[in-house]
A and B are shown apart, each in its own frame.
Chain A
Amino acid sequence: DAGVIQSPRHEVTEMGQEVTLRCKPISGHNSLFWYRQTMMRGLELLIYFNNNVPIDDSGMPEDRFSAKMPNASFSTLKIQPSEPRDSAVYFCASSFDRDEKLFFGSGTQLSVL
């Protein structure tokens, strides 16, 4: 299995631009999670899906952030407009069920200038 695949690996953009991060979970997993990691706040859960349905988005910082999961093999996290404080590593993770350990992708390093 290829594991959780995230793209792009690195993203550098200017303040105000739209950013879209992509994730392909492990085949057969039915839960998908988006996390953000910073030095100041550590790993924070932004949103998670179960069977393609958003279950909890209470971690999404503000309306500038949105996430979708149109099918079981693809999810996006969008930031519009982006701000410098959004700079972080964004991880996507999947699990076989809500009651299982997480498998993380390699992350997207986002820098907003």
Chain B
Amino acid sequence: GESVGLHLPTLSVQEGDNSIINCAYSNSASDYFIWYKQESGKGPQFIIDIRSNMDKRQGQRVTVLLNKTVKHLSLQIAATQPGDSAVYFCAENMRPEAGKSTFGDGTTLTVKP
């Protein structure tokens, strides 16, 4: 399943399928990007990050892709599990205040068993 930017804030997939969550960031000068996962009643939790000198980075079951030309970021989750159900936020940062993150609106991922 795939979401399209921040205009479709929900994504529903079957357990075991791959998920793709998209994000269009706003500032072409942003040079550090982070994906966070927020479960109900909790604070956002770091998933994976990528710097602007890279276009792909892989973690455990997750991959982030960065396309600076079109200011687009995506998070791919392989073999989606029920525990992946949450709201996913992309955040963009710009040095020297790179910790001052600007968050996207978030995409709600629902995994159906």
Contacts and interface: CB of A to CB of B under 8 A. Distances in A.
Interface in B8-46: 32, 34, 36, 41-46
Interface stretch (A12-20, A42-50, A62-70, A74-82): A42-50
B105 A102 contact: no
Nearest to B102: A45
A104 B43 contact: yes
Nearest to A41: B105
Contacts of B104: 42
B100 A98 contact: yes
Contacts, number: 59
A113 interface: no
Interface size class of B (residues with CB under 8 A): 20 to 34
B92 interface: no
B95 A102 contact: no
Interface in A58-113: 91, 93, 95, 97-107
A91 B43 contact: yes
A42 B103 contact: yes
A68 to B, nearest CB: 19
A31 B99 CA distance: 8
A interface: dominant SS: strand
Contacts of A4: 43
B46 A102 contact: yes
Nearest to B95: A99
Given A42-B105, A42-B106, A98 B99 contact: yes
B32 A99 contact: yes
A99 B99 contact: yes
B43 A93 contact: yes
Question: Which A-B residue pairs are the 5 nearest by beta carbons?
Answer: A104-B43, A98-B99, A99-B98, A43-B103, A101-B46
Interface of A: 4, 31, 33, 42-43, 45, 48, 50, 55-56, 91, 93, 95, 97-107
